[in-house]
Amino acid sequence: MLGTDLSFDLYHDGYIREVIGAVHYVDHPRKELRVKDLKGDTWFIEFDSLLSVRTYEVGR
């Protein structure tokens, strides 16, 4: 779903973090997603850190 806003729950340094944004690139060799969040920052999310992914609903 490239370009669609999604909500990613990921495990990072002992905490569960939520990142909301759109996938801009799937890097299979590095096993990570490149996600642009709502502020325009780019996140490099490793496949292994993903706990859940769901469609982002505005007003949630």
**Structural domain spans, the chain:** 5-55
For residue 43, the SS3 value is strand
Sign of CA dihedral 19, 21, 23, 27: negative
Model pLDDT for residues 16-34, shown as the tens digit of each residue? 999 999 999 999 999 999 9
Which architecture characterizes domain 5-55 according to CATH?
Roll (2.30)
pTM for this prediction:
0.83
Residue 45 burial by Cβ neighbours in a 10 Å radius (0-12, 13-18, 19+): buried
The full length of the chain comes to: 60
Q: Name the pLDDT band for 48 (thresholds 50, 70, 90).
A: very high
| CA R_g for the chain | 11
